[in-house]
Each structure stands twice: as C-alpha cells, then as structure tokens.
Chains A and B, each alone.
Chain A
Amino acid sequence: MTTPRLSVKDLHVQFPVRSGHRKQTLRAVDGVSVDLKPSEILGIVGESGCGKSTLARVIAGLTEPAHGSVELDGRPLPPRRTVQEQRAIQMVFQDPGASLNPRLTVGAVLTELLHRHGIVDRARERERAEDLLRRVGLPARAYDARPRQLSGGQRQRVGIARALAVEPRLIVADEAVAALDVSVQAAILNLFADLRVSLALSMVFISHDLSAVQAICDRVAVMYLGKIVEVGSVDELFSAPGHPYTRALLAASPSLEETAAVAPPLTGEPPSPLRVPNGCRFHPRCPLAVEKCHIAEPQWEMQGEHRTACHRAWEVDDVTAAGARHPRGIALNP
C-alpha cells in the first residue's frame, strides 16, 4: 500500500469559550482520522459548526490541534511549522476578494511568493508568474491587474494561482466555489479537475454543496458535530448512504428533480458543539434512534472501504429514504 499523501490521526481541536462567568470548552474537532492518497480529491461535507473549516485550518497549519497529528507523505508535521513545511500545504479560501491585498497587482502577489520561497531567481519571476496565470486560465495581461479590476471568478483563479505558486503537495479548498455564480462555479470545478490531471494535485475540498462535491471528489467524509460519521467513495456514499444523517443531507440538498416542496427531512438545527449529546451525537435529530443510540457511541460499520459510524447503519426508514430514492441529478428528458 502506498504511503498516503495526507494522514490525519485522532485530531482534536478545542477552543476555550467564556459565556458570562462560565468557562467552557468548545470541541470543534473531536477525534478525526482520515487519509488521502496522492492525487486524490477528498470532499468534506456537513452543516455549519460541524468543524469542517477548523479541520481545514489544522491541516493547513493555521490552527494548532489540542491532540493528534497531521502527516504528509508519512512524515508528521509539527503544530508550528517551518516556512518549508507551510509551503507544502496551501489553502484556497471562499472569498477571493477578502484574501487578496487590494493594493497589490496580481503580478506583485505572485512574484513576492516566488521570491520569498526561492522558487525561481529574480530574472525568471515574471515568466514564471505568467505561466501560473496561464495554467489557471487567466490571460498574461492579468499580471498587471489589481483585484478590483477582476471578476469574482477571475479573483478565485488568482487565489488558485497563488496557492500553486509555491508548488504545494496538497491544496485545501475551503468553500472555494461557494461565493461564485453557478456558471463560474462550473468553470472553477473544471479547472480543479484539469489541475488534478496535469499536476497530479491532491486536494481536500470542503463544501456544503453536495452537487459540487459529487462532481469533483473521489471520496467524501461527512462530518457531524466534530466527528466524521461516514466516509466512502462518491459513488458509494451518494448511491447507498449508510448514515441517516448523510441521507438527510442528500434529501435536503436542492436538486432540479423535485416537482414540489418535499417534507423537510431533518427537524431542528445542529446542536451546539458546546453541548455534545451522549451516545451517538446525532441521536436527538435521528429518525432511527433507539435506546442504545442514547448511551453508546457507535463504532465503525464497514462495507469494504465505505465506513459508517451508526448503530443502524444502512437501515433505511421512510422519512430519510427520500434521499436515497432521489439519486441526485437531473433527468431532463422524461
């Protein structure tokens, strides 16, 4: 078996929270382990507050974990990383406008990075920056543009060029297409797919948009309240979801198939990570919950590479079956 590109082991992230006089601990990531093969794209999905963005920041070295490790190509990365270690994992953010300095030209942003990391010498910086722009589908004249002169889609391409500039071994994209118009989203997803082939890019793709995940990812991990509750290949997970939460997410995800408003599959909202329920953390909202779900935390149930942490994995009830029955996608020719 090849060494995974990325290996996250039993990761815990906690934030101290003060509400009034009470000090509490928010367990944002609560024991996450997951692997990523070279040139694989792993999707991470879940509701807001599930810890997916915190996980992204830990992988990228922007947040320190309380416990657990992040390994790149079999080598553990320390919580505080050197410049070289930082370089190996790069992030692409949701809002390309907010993550670019409005005063700097695109060329200045890229050449500064190339220089700081000593990637090419001064004489070849411009050539290299223009290469990067071409690679992400921007014209060479974007070199002299400032962010405000670019559209949202073009700014996101600059964000991707900036991540690629330092030749990372892994890209972490956090809601990288969420702020873009649908037609632009498709173009950026196509770009990621091209880069994966041309650069053998490995990527963690964090998103709340299941249709984008379905299009770009090889495997998906579903997070709920700081834990991964299901992992599997895109095909397996979307066609035979094992966890009732995954089925509910699939049913709630808007697709063009529905003819009328369907009954909401999940009642209530995600509980606060300050008050994680006992037993299975999903049980208060679960249509399948039985007594042991209130008491015992579920262990992994396996179907090959597809794992689900649920006492009633792959049991389907009437309420959430809608998610499994509606294979997501459009049948436009009836």
Chain B
Amino acid sequence: MSGDTALEVRGLQVSVGSGHAVKGVSLGVRAGECLGIVGESGSGKSLTLRAVADVLPRGVTRAAGDVVVHGRSAMVFQEPMTTLNPTMRVGDFIAEGPRSRGVPKREARRRAVELLAEVGVPDPAVRARAWPHQLSGGLRQRVMIAAALAVEPSVLLCDEPTTALDTTVQAQLLALIDRLRAERGMAVVFVSHNLAVVSRVAQRVMVMYAGRVVEEGPTQEVLRRPRHPYTQALIETIPRRGVAAGQLTTIQGAPPDPSEEFTGCAFAPRCARAEDTCTSLRPPMLEAVPGHTAGCHFVAAPRAIAPSKEGV
C-alpha cells in the first residue's frame, strides 16, 4: 500500500461566480491506496474531484492550485446513463479509449471484451454488442468502470458511483473497485456523502465542510476517534441500532452558502463547543496523532463521542 505518490493536489481553489466553493484543498494519494472524500451537499467534495479530472461544469473555474497526476486519470460518475453514448454499443464505447491511443480496431474490441470480463460483466462478448439502454443500472456502472480502465489509469476518480444503485448492487460495485485497486495498484479517490460507504473502500478519509478539509486520517481512526466536532456530529446523526427516531442527533442550523468567506472556523456558528477564538481565528490543520489531522482549535482535547446505547 505504500506505493509512490500517484496524485498530488496543492492549494486547490475553485471559483463559482464571485466566490470560492473550494478554498484551498491539498491532498496526496499513493498508488494502490483509496482516499475517501466525505461531505454534505455544498461541501466542495465533487468540485474538488472534478477540478482534478479537469471536468468542471460551465462557469466554474480552477482559480488556483496545482494538480499533478503521475500517469493518467479516469473518472466514473454517479449517472452512467448521462455519460454513456446512447448511440454506441457499449463494447465500441469502451474501445474508444485504446483506439484513441492508436490501437487497431479489432485489437481494441478484443480489449473491450477483456475489460468487461475484468469488471464482472457476465457473457462479456455478448454484452459488448448491447446498447446502454438494454443494461441495468448496475451493469451500466460496470461498463463505465471498464471504459475508465481502458485508458490504463494510474488514478481512478469516483464521484458517488454507487449512490443511484440498490444497496445489494452497491455492495458488489464497492467490492469490485476494491479488487481493481488492489490488483492493478491503482490510486482511487472516492467521493461520497455516505461515511459508511466510504468506510468500505477507503483506507484514508478526508472530511470536507464549506470548501475546506476539516479532518483527515486513516478511515477507522477517523470513524472511531473523530477529532473535529463536525465529523463527530456527522457520525452521530447516522441512525444506529438502539437509537429511535426522536433521539437522533442533529446538527443545528444549515451549512453556509458555498461561496461565503469566514474569518474564523466555518463550522463555528453550528458548533456546540465554539468559543470566541473560533469566530475570529481560522484553525489550521493540527495533528492529533501522527497521520490524523483536524482543523479545530480543540483538536488536542477531543470530546468523547456519545457511545451507542448498546455500546456500554
């Protein structure tokens, strides 16, 4: 897992209109490692990923920062139907990657069938001749992954690739992405709003809030000993056994407008333990334990997370 660095991002800023929706994000992913990025809508997680892939929506621009991909990157989106070409048989769609690199047509087609087999599509030779609309959501997403693999990426960028799928199919795709990462030694960046999904594939996780990273560390460490009050609250809001609705933890207030600028901590207005410092001074990322950092003034004295009722 301690491969060479495959992706480096430093000081990334993404501007939307007059403000910045991503306000200085830095990250690094090694070959064979999966980094999860978690956040709610408006946190900047998807724009960060799209800036890395250079596929920002119209009117949204990369204002600052460096993105270095060692090798090639490829992206898998949430809605395969909007990315697949409805007028192309899926085998030809996958073959476009190798074709664009000068691989002869027959060879590229053969490669497409191999890739369909690699991503677990049954009867790959038959399925290669299918049209996108003939496939289920889960199969379409496997086709998208095969098309991404066709460019031999060193970095696979996944933007909520399983969100639109049934949990049973989601579990299959998460296992597939995990297997491909391990077998190919690919770096994977996996963006999701769902902490539990990320915990199934990512060795490291980054939590974003209002355009900034607020916590980063090994996934299990962050889930078990979250250091940022926002991460703690996010974990506590997930319904769990023994906690009936009516007693679920909620986070007061609403997330700020993505382009809003703060002098202090963006989470302070919603934070139960905020003090004067929090609104006047933005906390830097502080190391809690080696490899686990959080952007909170009180990182050294984390509040114990409320144990589940059965936990004690």
Q: Which residues of A contact B (CB under 8 A)?
A: 47-48, 151-153, 181-183, 185-187, 189-190, 192-194, 197, 208, 210-212, 214-216, 238, 248-249, 251-256, 258-267, 269-270, 327-334
Whether B40 contacts A186 by the Cβ 8 Å rule is no
Do A269 and B139 form a contact, CB below 8 Å, given A255-B196, A330-B235?
Answer: yes
CB-CB < 8 A to B307: which residues of A?
332-333
A-B contact pairs, 10 of them (CB 8 A): A182-B195, A182-B238, A211-B239, A215-B240, A249-B168, A259-B220, A265-B168, A327-B241, A330-B235, A332-B305
A267 to B240, CA, bound (A): 26
B4-12, B70-78, B249-257 - the one binding chain A: B249-257
| Smallest CB gap from A250: residue in B | B167
Whether A186 contacts B223 by the Cβ 8 Å rule is no
A44 to B273, CA, bound (A): 39
> Which single member of A210, A216, A266, A333 contacts B245 (CB below 8 Å)?
A216
Q: A50 to nearest B CB, angstroms? A: 9
- Residues of chain B from 277 to 297 with CB closer than 8 A to chain A in the complex: none
> Which single member of A48, A215, A249 contacts B248 (CB below 8 Å)?
A215
A158 to B24, CA, bound (A): 36
B91-99, B108-116, B152-160, B197-205 - the one binding chain A: B197-205
- Of B178, B224, B245, the most chain A CB neighbours within 10 A belong to B245
| Smallest CB gap from B244: residue in A | A215
CB-CB < 8 A to A327: which residues of B?
241
A48 to B166, CA, bound (A): 7
B138 on the A face (CB < 8 A)? yes
A152 to B238, CA, bound (A): 18
CB-CB < 8 A to A190: which residues of B?
245-248, 250
| Smallest CB gap from B230: residue in A | A183
Whether A256 contacts B168 by the Cβ 8 Å rule is no
> Which single member of A152, A193, A258 contacts B199 (CB below 8 Å)?
A258
B46-54, B169-177, B258-266 - the one binding chain A: B169-177
> Which single member of A186, A254, A334 contacts B239 (CB below 8 Å)?
A186
CB-CB < 8 A to A153: which residues of B?
254
> Which single member of A185, A216, A263 contacts B237 (CB below 8 Å)?
A185
Main secondary structure of the interface of A (DSSP, over half): loop
Whether B170 contacts A187 by the Cβ 8 Å rule is no
Whether B237 contacts A329 by the Cβ 8 Å rule is no
- Residues of chain B from 172 to 229 with CB closer than 8 A to chain A in the complex: 172, 174-175, 178, 193-197, 199-201, 220, 223-224
B123 on the A face (CB < 8 A)? no
Whether A264 contacts B194 by the Cβ 8 Å rule is no
Whether A334 contacts B175 by the Cβ 8 Å rule is no
On chain B, the number of residues with a Cβ less than 8 Å from chain A's Cβ atoms is 52
B2 on the A face (CB < 8 A)? no
CB-CB < 8 A to A262: which residues of B?
171, 175, 200
- Of A197, A266, A329, A334, the most chain B CB neighbours within 10 A belong to A329
Whether A249 contacts B167 by the Cβ 8 Å rule is yes
B234 on the A face (CB < 8 A)? yes
- The 9 A-B residue pairs whose C-beta atoms are closest, nearest first, are A329-B241, A193-B246, A215-B239, A254-B196, A193-B245, A261-B178, A252-B171, A186-B248, A189-B245
B300 on the A face (CB < 8 A)? no
Q: B188 to nearest A CB, angstroms? A: 12
Q: A148 to nearest B CB, angstroms? A: 14
Do A256 and B248 form a contact, CB below 8 Å, given A186-B239, A329-B310?
Answer: no
| Smallest CB gap from B239: residue in A | A215
B308 on the A face (CB < 8 A)? yes
* Other A-B pairs, 5, CB within 8 Å; known A181-B40, A192-B245: A183-B251, A186-B239, A254-B194, A332-B305, A334-B224
Whether B245 contacts A211 by the Cβ 8 Å rule is no
CB-CB < 8 A to A270: which residues of B?
166, 168
B1 on the A face (CB < 8 A)? no
Whether B199 contacts A186 by the Cβ 8 Å rule is no
CB-CB < 8 A to A334: which residues of B?
224
A263 to B168, CA, bound (A): 11
| Smallest CB gap from B192: residue in A | A254
Do A183 and B40 form a contact, CB below 8 Å, given A151-B254, A255-B196?
Answer: yes
| Smallest CB gap from A238: residue in B | B241
Q: B160 to nearest A CB, angstroms? A: 13
| Smallest CB gap from B182: residue in A | A261
Q: A189 to nearest B CB, angstroms? A: 4
Whether B175 contacts A264 by the Cβ 8 Å rule is yes
Do A263 and B175 form a contact, CB below 8 Å, given A47-B168, A211-B240, A329-B308?
Answer: yes
Whether B170 contacts A252 by the Cβ 8 Å rule is yes
> Which single member of A151, A187, A248, A329 contacts B168 (CB below 8 Å)?
A248
CB-CB < 8 A to B237: which residues of A?
182-183, 185-186
| Smallest CB gap from B241: residue in A | A329
CB-CB < 8 A to B195: which residues of A?
182, 256
| Smallest CB gap from B122: residue in A | A268
